[in-house]
Amino acid sequence: MKSLSLSLFIICSICLNVISQEESKISLSKKVILELNASSADSVLFRPYSKPWASWGWAGEQSEQQYNNRFRGRYENLWTVMHPYIMSGELKLYSAWDPNHYMTLDEGELRFPLSQGSYFSDSISNNTLKPILGYYGEEKTTPLANSWGEDSMIVLDDGINVFVYPARDYIWYSDAHVVKYKIRINVQYNKKGKEIKRYVAAIAPVIKNPFDGAGFESEVCWIKFDDLKILLKDIYFFNSNGKPETFINYIENKALKSFIK
């Protein structure tokens, strides 16, 4: 009798294990974009603003040493934390759109990796990052002065004289430009539609265009979340409850607790 009971127990255990394995098999997946806004409870990711952005005009080129002295080791907000890793090439970026079709957005699928190394020592990376991480100011209206104090002019190949103007200023997007983060969440289900797993796949900072009075917003780039986790896993901030928390933990908790239809 004991032998029969033990045999039935083993059979039931095997059956339950098979059922459990079947239920844990991933049959379906859904990709969801979650937005974390600067004007919501998620403002802890955006503020306080970091002083170097406000106190430094950020017009024109700066040396790597000048940059690192001001921004390395500052943890006031997520953009300020990420920026040095982007500039050094430690954090890989992906284009927010298809470079050949600007109306085709990537939406966090990480299909368009950017050629990227150090902004300061690699000219290709410099040219890649500039259109993404900042913008050019307005055209100058006053010509440069020559050594006699007169308006500087040059003669073109066709013999026409034209004034020479100063180059337009280049301004980086600061932490105040970033108004939200888009989080790409991958959700996996079994064949019965039961959620098995969800995880954050990618993150994109979103800026408000400084020249658009209508408040047009655009994604700066996409970043693989696993890459960000490696660099930011031990970087803390004070959450809305005044308790220390890592940026990574905060974002992952938002993803886990968000309602997904």
Q: What is the pLDDT of residue 24?
A: 59
More reliable by pLDDT, 237 or 58: 237
Q: How far apart are CA 86 and CA 223, in angstroms?
A: 10
- Asked if the structure places residue 230 within a domain, the reply is yes
Is residue 22 a part of any domain in this protein? no
Nearest to 52 by CA among 75, 23, 26, 86: 75
Predicted confidence (pLDDT) per residue in 248-260, tens digit: 999 999 988 876 6
Partner residues linked to 195 by β-bridges? 189
Residue type, 205: P
Q: What total number of domains does the chain contain?
A: 1
Q: How confident is the model at residue 163 (pLDDT cuts 50, 70, 90)?
A: low
| 65 falls within a domain | yes
- CA distances (Å), origin 59, targets 55, 56, 204, 246: 12, 8, 25, 32
Does residue 112 form part of some domain? yes
- Please check whether residue 126 lies inside any domain of the structure: yes
Distance separating alpha carbons of residues 63 and 47, to the nearest angstrom: 26
Q: What local confidence, expressed as pLDDT, does residue 186 receive?
A: 92
What domain range is 58 assigned to? 28-257
Determine, yes or no, domain membership for 1: no
Q: How many CB atoms lie within 10 A of CB 129?
A: 23
The pLDDT score that the predictor gives to residue 56 is 64
The one-letter code for the residue type at 136 is Y
pLDDT tens readout for residues 210-220: 766 666 889 99
For residue 118, the 8-state DSSP code is -
pLDDT-based confidence at 74, cuts 50/70/90? very high
d(CA 194, CA 181): 28
Q: What angle do CA 119, 183, 90 make, to 5 degrees?
A: 25
How far apart, in whole angstroms, are the C-alpha atoms of residue 67 and residue 58?
10
Q: Which residue has the higher pLDDT, 4 or 65?
A: 65
Look at residue 154 and tell me if it is in a domain: yes
Whether the link from the prior residue into 48 is cis, omega within 30° of 0, is yes
- pTM (two decimals): 0.80
Q: Is position 6 within any domain?
A: no
Of 13-17, 89-93, 111-115, the range with the highest mean pLDDT is 89-93
Nearest of 231, 247, 203 to residue 87 by alpha carbon: 231
**Selection from 22, 34, 7 nearest residue 183 by Cα:** 34
Cis-peptide into 52, omega within 30 deg: no
- Do 92 and 227 meet the contact criterion of CB atoms below 8 Å apart? yes
